Structure 1
Amino acid sequence: MDCIIFVLFAELCQKSALEGGGCVPNGEPASPSLAPVATAVSLFAGYGECGKGRMQYASKTFPPDFKFGVSTAAYQIEGGWNADGKGWSMWDHLVRTDPEFIADNTNGDVAANSYYFYKKDVEILKELGVDMYRFSISWPRILPYGRADYINPYGIAYYNALIDELLANGITPFVTMYHWDLPQNLNEQGGWLNEGLVDIFGDYARVLYRHFGDRVKHWLTINEPYVHCYQGFVTLRHAPRVNMPATGFYECGRHLLLAHAKAYHIYQEEFKSQGGQVGIVLSMDWAYPDSDSADDAEAVLDYFASHMGIFANPIFTSEGNYPQRLIDRVANISSSQGFQYSRLRPFSQEQIEYMRGTSDFLALNHYTSDIVYRNASVVGMYEVPSFNDDTGFATYKDPNWPVSASAWLREHAQGFYNLLVYIKDTYNNPTIYVTENGFSTTTGLNDNGRVQYIRNYLNALLDAVAEGVDVRGYSAWSLMDNFEWAMGYTQRFGLYQIDINDPEKERIPRKSALVYKEIISSRFIDLDFDPNPYEVSGAGYHKSCVFVIIVPYLLNNLI
C-alpha cells in the first residue's frame, strides 16, 4: 500500500513537472528561472535564454522520413571480454590493474552479455519499432593485437551475425568504429599520443569497410574525441588515465582528428562504390554566461571554442583549422609562461586541407547545458600549465534544472534547441543525426525523470527542425542498462532495465521504453500516454519501487 501511495504522488509530481517547472512538495510548478541570468547578453541574441522554461508543446509531428533509434557501445554491453580470440582493450587492462577506481568495483567483462545475447537485443529493438541501431565495433575483437596483420575470424563472424539480424528485421545499422576501447597493445605504444596510430586506425577502418561495408551504409569513425581526451589525460576519469594535463588533451585530439580524416579518405578513395556515408561523433553541450559581464561573455566563447570548435571547426567550416581564438589564447598563455612553442601544435596547411569537409553528416551527442563564468574565483583553480588553465573558465548547473542520477547531468531542453540552431548558423546547416541523448536514473521501472527528459528534448528537436535545422534522426542513450565507465552500474541510462546479477540478463522495459515506442509509432509526443511498466513486464509492485520513486523526489526537492 505504501508503495502505491508513493507512485500516485510521483505521478502528480510528474504531471506538474511536464507542465513547465520542477516539482515541489505541494505539487505546484517551481519556477525554472535562474536569477543570475535574468538577461541574456547580446552574444546570444536569437537563442533561448537560460531563464526561460521549457518550450510549449503543440500539435507537432515528426517528418515521415525522420529516423528513430537507440545507441550502445561495445565495451559497455558486449561482455565476452576474452572470448573467441578477442584481445585486451585498455579498459580490460584498467579494470584489472585498478579495480577500485570503478565506483562499484565492477567491470565490463560480462555487462549485458550482448556477445551471446545479441538476438535478445534485436528482439527489443524490434519491439521498440526503431528504424536504426547505433552500436560500436570492438577494435580488439576484430584485431586482437591492434594491427591489421591478424584479423580475428570470430570477431568478424559476430558482427556479421549482428548486422544480418538487424537487416532481417528492417533495422539500419549505424556503426561506430571506435568507442574508446583501444587495444591494450597500442595503448602500451603511446596510444593516441602516438601519431603512428593515425595510419593504424586507417588500416582498421579498411578492414571494417571490406568486411561489412556491403551492408553498413552509415559509418561513425570516432566517438566523442573531446570526452575521450579530456577524461583520459586531464581528469583521469577514463582510460588510459595518463596524467598529462598540459599537452595530453591537445595531442590526443590532434591525432583523433587526423585518424578520422584518414578513415574518411580511405572510404572515398577505395570503397565509395559501396554507397555509404562516413561521419564523426561530436559531443556538444550548450552554455550560458553567468552574468552580463564582458568576462563571462568571453568565457562562453572560449567554452564553445575549446569544447566544440576544436573538433568541429577543422571539419565543418570552409576555412578549416582550429578556432582562431583558441589558437591565439593557448599561444599567448604558453608564451607568457616562458614556453617557446604553443601547447596547441599548429596543423600544416596540407593537414588543414586534408581534414576539411571530411564528414558526410554530423553525429551529435548531447545531454545537458552549462552556466559559464570567469572571475577572480577562477584564478588559481587549475593546475598550471594545463588545458583547464588555458581555457580559464568554470561551469555549474542551474539548481532548478531537474536532476538525474549523474552529478554532471541536469535536464534543460531549451539548451538542446539553442545548440541545434547554433550548429545550423555556425557550420552551414550540416545534416545531423542525434546519436546520443539520455538521462540517468537508479534501478526500477517507473523512470518518470527519463520520460520527461525524452519528451522535452524531442519537443525541442521538433522546434529546431521548424527553424530549418537539418536533423534526420534521433537515437536515445541507451537501449539498456550498461557499464557506465568509471561509475560502473551505479547509474542507469537504459530504456530497458537489466539486473546485472541475473545470468540471463533479461531486458525488462521501463516506462520510458513504452513511451518512446508510442512516440515512434505515432510520430507524436502524447503527454497523456501514461503506461504502467509493471503491468507490461509482469514484475508487479515491490519494495524497490519505494526507493525508485521517492529517492529521486527527495534529491530533487529536499536536498
Structure 2
Amino acid sequence: MAIIQFPKGMKWGGTATASYQIEGATNEDGRGISIWDTFSKTPGRVVNGDNGDIACDSYHRYEEDVELMKELGIDVYRFSVAWPRIFPNGTGGEVNQKGLDYYHRLVDKLLENGIEPMCTLYHWDLPQALQDNGGWNNRETIDAFVNYAELMFKEFDGKIKHWLTLNEPWCISFLSNYIGVHAPGNRDLQLATQISHHLLVAHGRTVKKFREIGIEGQIGFAPNTTWLEPYSTRQEDIDACNREIGWYIEWFMDPVFKGTYPKFMLDWFKKKGVELEIQDGDMEDIHQPVDFLGINYYTGHIARYKENEGLLDWELVEMNYDRTDIGWPIFPEGFYNVLMRIKDSYGDIPIYITENGSCYNDEPENGRVRDSGRIHYLQQHLTALSRAIASGVNVKGYITWSLMDNFEWAEGYTMRFGIVHVNYRTLERTKKDSYYWYKQTIANNWFEK
C-alpha cells in the first residue's frame, strides 16, 4: 500500500454544483426563463422529458445542503448563479432583488460555517430573452454579461473572493451549437465557432471590469478538458489526437494566455469552411491576466486517425477500459497528461481542479449507498493529481463533481454524479460511501492506495 499525500494548504472543495441542476424554484421570486427551461420542455431533448423545475430543491433546502458540506469538512464550495434570477430578461430593467437575496443567504450561510464560496457567473442558464435576440452569437450578449457580472462583483465584494467567469466554454459553444445535444440545440459549426470567440471576449471584458472596479479577490475561468492518446506513432494518429485535445485546451486557453488562437486549429477550422470574425480590440480584451485557472476533467481514451464527415477525424479504439455508468472510459493517465500539457504550454498558472467526478447509479440499500466504483475513480484521479503536483504543476485545490445527484442536463435524472444520493420523489439526501471516504481524505490530507 502507498500513501498519497497532498501539500499542506491544499484546498478541498468537496463539492461543485450548478444552479439549474440543483436549485429548482424556476417559477419563484421573480426568476426569468432560461434556455434550459425552454430546451428541457421541448419534446425529445431530455431523457424522459425531465426538467429542472424542482431538481434537488436546493433553493429551499440550501441550509440542509450547507450542513452536509460542513460535516464533509470542505474548505470551498463552488456554485453558480442563475443569471435569470438576477436579470429576468438578461439585461436592462430592474434587478430582481429576491434573486440577489437568495444568493446572499447562501453565501452568508457558507461563511458562517467556515466554507469559502467560489462563484461561477455562467454555468449555461442563459436568459431566454437574450437567446431570442441571437444569444451568444449576438455581441450585445457580451455587454449584457459584463453588466450582470459587474452587479454581482459589487454586490458580493468582500464576501466572494474567488470568481469564475465561464464554465466549460467548449460545451457552451460546440456541444450546444454544433453537436446540438445541449441548449439551445443548434447544429452549425460556423455558428458554434463564432460563439466560442464571443464567449472569450465576454470572459476577457469581465476580467477587465473586475480589475477596473477593484474587487477584492481572484478571478479565472473553467474550461473542460479531455485527452486522446495516439494509438500509434504514426503522424496522422498523433495529429488527429492533438486536434481533439487542442479543440478543448489550446482553442480556449491560447487566446487568454498568449493573445492568439492556435494556428493548427485555425487551419483545421478553415479546412472545414469556418472562419472567425474578429473585431478590432477583441484579442486584446481576451488576453487579460487571470489569477487562476479552473480545470474540469472526466475522461479520455486511445484513438487513431479516421476520415469522417464534419470536424472530427479520429475514432476510438476499444481498449476495454472500465467505464462509468454514463459510458465514459476511466482514464486517469489523461488527467495527468492534461495538467502537464497546460504547465508546459502556459507556465505555473495556479490551478484549481473545479470538476472531476464519476457517474454511478447506485441506489440505497438499507439506508446505505455502496458506491465503491466512485471511490475507486476518486482514488485513481487523485493519484494522477498527486503525480502532477510532484511534477511541478501548481495545483491549489481540488473540487469534486458533485455534492449531490442532480439534473444531469440532457440525461435528465437518469445519471447520478453525487457523493450524496437524492431521492427525486421525496428529496431525501443520503450520504454515500464515497462521501465518508472523501471526508476522511480531506481530514487527513492523504489517502492510502
Q: Same fold (TM over 0.5)?
A: yes
How far residue 58 of structure 1 moved from its aligned partner, in angstroms, is 2.9
Separation in structure 2 between the aligned mates of residue 71 and residue 451 of structure 1, nearest angstrom? 17
Q: 1:252 aligns with which of 186, 195, 217?
A: 195
Separation in structure 2 between the aligned mates of residue 207 and residue 100 of structure 1, nearest angstrom? 36
Q: 1:323 aligns with which of 255, 262, 276?
A: 262
Separation in structure 2 between the aligned mates of residue 452 and residue 302 of structure 1, nearest angstrom? 30
- Contact 1:459–1:525 at 8 Å: present in 2 too? no
**Which residue of structure 2 aligns with residue 83 of structure 1?**
28
2:359 aligned with 1:440 = yes
**Which residue of structure 2 aligns with residue 404 of structure 1?**
324
Structure 1 segment 111-190 matched on structure 2, within 5 A: 111-190=55-134
1:328-368 Cα offsets, whole Å, 9 max, x none, are 2323443xxxxxxxx23153563222211342111000001
Separation in structure 2 between the aligned mates of residue 80 and residue 355 of structure 1, nearest angstrom? 35
2:281 aligned with 1:350 = yes
Structure 2: runs of 5 or more not aligned: 364-368
Separation in structure 2 between the aligned mates of residue 100 and residue 349 of structure 1, nearest angstrom? 41
- Contact 1:397–1:410 at 8 Å: present in 2 too? no
**Which residue of structure 2 aligns with residue 92 of structure 1?**
37
**Which residue of structure 1 aligns with residue 366 of structure 2?**
none
**Which residue of structure 2 aligns with residue 301 of structure 1?**
242
How far residue 493 of structure 1 moved from its aligned partner, in angstroms, is 0.2
**Which residue of structure 2 aligns with residue 278 of structure 1?**
219
Shift in CA distance, 65/397, structure 1 to aligned 2, threshold 3 Å:
farther
1:123-162 Cα offsets, whole Å, 9 max, x none, are 0000110000000000001111110432111001000000
**Which residue of structure 2 aligns with residue 262 of structure 1?**
205
- Contact 2:179–2:186 at 8 Å: present in 1 too? no
> 2:206 corresponds to which letter in structure 1?
A
How far residue 310 of structure 1 moved from its aligned partner, in angstroms, is 0.8
SS in 2 for 1:240: coil
Shift in CA distance, 267/327, structure 1 to aligned 2, threshold 3 Å:
same
SS in 1 for 2:78: strand
Shift in CA distance, 93/346, structure 1 to aligned 2, threshold 3 Å:
closer
Shift in CA distance, 441/353, structure 1 to aligned 2, threshold 3 Å:
same
Q: 1:416 aligns with which of 297, 311, 335?
A: 335
Structure 1 segment 13-92 matched on structure 2, within 5 A: 58-69=2-13, 70-92=15-37
- Contact 2:207–2:288 at 8 Å: present in 1 too? no
1:359-408 Cα offsets, whole Å, 9 max, x none, are 21110000011323223xx2xx32xxxxx43xx4224264422111112x
How far residue 507 of structure 1 moved from its aligned partner, in angstroms, is 1.5
SS in 1 for 2:5: coil
Separation in structure 1 between the aligned mates of residue 180 and residue 246 of structure 2, nearest angstrom? 22
Separation in structure 2 between the aligned mates of residue 219 and residue 453 of structure 1, nearest angstrom? 28
Percent identity for Structure 1 against Structure 2: 38
1:270-308 Cα offsets, whole Å, 9 max, x none, are 1x2x32111011001112112221111111221222221
How far residue 60 of structure 1 moved from its aligned partner, in angstroms, is 3.2
> 2:435 corresponds to which letter in structure 1?
A
Separation in structure 1 between the aligned mates of residue 414 and residue 336 of structure 2, nearest angstrom? 29
- Contact 2:301–2:329 at 8 Å: present in 1 too? no
- Contact 2:174–2:193 at 8 Å: present in 1 too? no
| Aligned residues: CA RMSD | 1.5
**Which residue of structure 2 aligns with residue 500 of structure 1?**
424
Shift in CA distance, 451/60, structure 1 to aligned 2, threshold 3 Å:
closer
> 1:403 corresponds to which letter in structure 2?
R
Which runs of 4 or more aligned residues in structure 1 lie more than 4 Å from their structure 2 counterparts after TM superposition? Answer: none
- Contact 2:223–2:248 at 8 Å: present in 1 too? no
SS in 2 for 1:85: coil
Structure 1 segment 447-458 matched on structure 2, within 5 A: 447-458=371-382
Structure 1: runs of 5 or more not aligned: 1-56, 335-342, 383-387, 528-559
SS in 2 for 1:446: coil
2:232 aligned with 1:287 = no
Separation in structure 2 between the aligned mates of residue 344 and residue 512 of structure 1, nearest angstrom? 46
SS in 1 for 2:106: helix
**Which residue of structure 2 aligns with residue 364 of structure 1?**
295
How does the TM-score come out when normalised to structure 2? 0.96
How far residue 316 of structure 1 moved from its aligned partner, in angstroms, is 1.8
SS in 2 for 1:247: helix
Structure 1 segment 468-507 matched on structure 2, within 5 A: 468-502=392-426, 505-507=427-429
- Contact 1:362–1:433 at 8 Å: present in 2 too? yes
> 2:203 corresponds to which letter in structure 1?
H
How far residue 515 of structure 1 moved from its aligned partner, in angstroms, is 0.4
Number of equivalenced pairs: 443
- Contact 1:87–1:143 at 8 Å: present in 2 too? yes
How far residue 99 of structure 1 moved from its aligned partner, in angstroms, is 3.7
2:438 aligned with 1:523 = no
- Contact 1:219–1:277 at 8 Å: present in 2 too? yes
Q: 1:231 aligns with which of 175, 178, 182?
A: 175
Separation in structure 2 between the aligned mates of residue 132 and residue 484 of structure 1, nearest angstrom? 22
- Contact 1:233–1:243 at 8 Å: present in 2 too? yes
SS in 2 for 1:68: strand
**Which residue of structure 2 aligns with residue 221 of structure 1?**
165
> 2:282 corresponds to which letter in structure 1?
Q
How far residue 104 of structure 1 moved from its aligned partner, in angstroms, is 2.2
Separation in structure 1 between the aligned mates of residue 362 and residue 46 of structure 2, nearest angstrom? 18
How far residue 430 of structure 1 moved from its aligned partner, in angstroms, is 1.2
Separation in structure 2 between the aligned mates of residue 237 and residue 329 of structure 1, nearest angstrom? 23
- Contact 1:310–1:322 at 8 Å: present in 2 too? yes
> 2:336 corresponds to which letter in structure 1?
Y
Separation in structure 1 between the aligned mates of residue 115 and residue 322 of structure 2, nearest angstrom? 33
Separation in structure 2 between the aligned mates of residue 106 and residue 323 of structure 1, nearest angstrom? 39
How does the TM-score come out when normalised to structure 1? 0.77
Separation in structure 2 between the aligned mates of residue 499 and residue 93 of structure 1, nearest angstrom? 25
Structure 1 segment 100-115 matched on structure 2, within 5 A: 100-115=44-59
Separation in structure 2 between the aligned mates of residue 85 and residue 498 of structure 1, nearest angstrom? 26
Structure 1 segment 207-218 matched on structure 2, within 5 A: 207-218=151-162
Separation in structure 1 between the aligned mates of residue 22 and residue 275 of structure 2, nearest angstrom? 35
Separation in structure 2 between the aligned mates of residue 288 and residue 476 of structure 1, nearest angstrom? 24
Shift in CA distance, 328/243, structure 1 to aligned 2, threshold 3 Å:
closer
